[in-house]
Amino acid sequence: MSPIIPQKLTKGDTIGVIAPSEPISPEQEQKLKAGCAYLNNIGFNIHLGSYLSSEKFDDANAPKGKAKDINDMFADPSIKGIICAQGGETANTTLPFIDWSVVKKNPKIFLGLSDITVLLNAIYKKTNQIVFHGNDILWGFGNNLTPYEEKEFTRILIHGAIGAYPTNQMRKTIRGGQALGRLIGGNLGCMLKLAGTPYWPDLSGAILFIEEYQITAKACQSAFYHLQQMGVFDQIRGVLLGYIDSMEKIASPKPHMEDVLLQVTEAFHFPILKMNDFGHNCPNTVLPVGGEVYLDADRQILEITQPCVR
């Protein structure tokens, strides 16, 4: 079944901003303003959600309030795209309160990363709608975007480009080979929050993409064996590894995530490409969760093969 493709963004559109994981603290208000100002300056209007700050709700009501923002933004025909403010730890608490019929009937660009991985994969699983892993408001748009990030946001979400991703940072062949499949993934630990739930995505024939923030080699080993025991490595066609902040900003930590993955998957033959153009504390491209991509680990190429916006 073909995925549902959202409408691309057009200058003059209104973008909704929500905080479905960590609320915005008073100390982060300036980053929120900076992120919204950037989007204003390139031609978009901004509509802020009702449940952005911690003062808006107490812990007991937070999941329902944050889910209401998600439901309201999808239901509002004047909102053409939704960008999350930041990640955090609690995006999964919203899942029981999301109106999936409203989301499915009103496909639109939904963008975020880190703990928003939970929502990206849940939305794709429950609605078959393509969503996007990429910069958030506070730590992306409000944090001095690089020219590469500006071009990638425009190239994919405004122009709807297909074809090869331009190289910005290091790429490395970990295991050679080629694969074609739906791109699914995000932050490794956050994605595993969905394991055993109705929101876990179907990984049959998928290209799995992975990034992490603060993780150790032992934690990588544990997570990869978890995936192996779930049968994930029997289902996927390839792996794309992003920038792993805690393992790369320190001089030569060993082993790296790719070393652990090779060891855990030594009985498998799917291609693995290291591509440092997505993750925490690095310039981020835009990756379509549910979009079809072609991976050539030998030539270190990732291509979008079908339109992800219309």
pLDDT digits (tens, 9 = 90+) for 239-298: 999 998 877 766 555 788 999 999 999 999 999 999 999 999 999 999 999 999 999 999
CATH code at position 126: 3.40.50.10740
% of the chain at pLDDT higher than 90: 89
Structural domain ending residue among the three candidates 158, 174, 208: 158
The reply to whether 53 and 108 lie within a common domain is yes
- Contacts for 159 with CB less than 8 Å, ≥ 6 apart: 8
DSSP H helices in 100-211: 100-105, 117-127, 147-153, 188-191
Q: How much is the pLDDT for 176?
A: 98
Q: How much is the pLDDT for 217?
A: 87
pTM value is 0.95
Asked if the structure places residue 309 within a domain, the reply is no
**Is 96 buried (19+), middle (13-18) or exposed (0-12) by CB count in 10 A?**
exposed
User: Residues 122-158: pLDDT tens digits?
Assistant: 999 999 999 999 999 999 999 989 999 999 999 999 9
Give CB contacts under 8 A, 24+ apart, made by 88-92.
88/21, 88/22, 88/114, 88/115, 89/21, 89/22, 89/115, 90/21, 90/22, 90/62, 90/63, 90/115, 91/20, 91/21, 91/115, 91/116, 91/117, 91/118, 91/119, 91/190, 92/118, 92/193, 92/194
Structural domain ending residue among the three candidates 158, 179, 198: 158
The reply to whether 204 and 231 lie within a common domain is yes
Residue 302 CB neighbours (<10 A): 23
Domain range enclosing 97: 14-158
Asked if the structure places residue 6 within a domain, the reply is no
The reply to whether 154 and 238 lie within a common domain is no
Structural domain ending residue among the three candidates 97, 128, 158: 158
For range 26-43, the mean pLDDT: 95
Q: How much is the pLDDT for 196?
A: 96
CB distance 88 to 52 below 8 Å: no
Distance between first and last Cα of the chain: 17
For range 21-33, the mean pLDDT: 93
pLDDT above 90 for 117: yes
The reply to whether 146 and 213 lie within a common domain is no
User: Residues 79-105: pLDDT tens digits?
Assistant: 999 999 999 999 999 999 999 999 999
Domain count, the chain: 2
Look up residue 182 and give its amino acid: R
User: Residues 198-236: pLDDT tens digits?
Assistant: 999 999 999 999 999 988 889 999 999 999 999 999 999
Asked if the structure places residue 228 within a domain, the reply is yes
pLDDT above 70 for 34: yes
The reply to whether 89 and 206 lie within a common domain is no
Asked if the structure places residue 226 within a domain, the reply is yes
The reply to whether 126 and 258 lie within a common domain is no
pLDDT above 90 for 54: no
C-alpha–C-alpha distance, residues 268 and 235, integer Å: 11
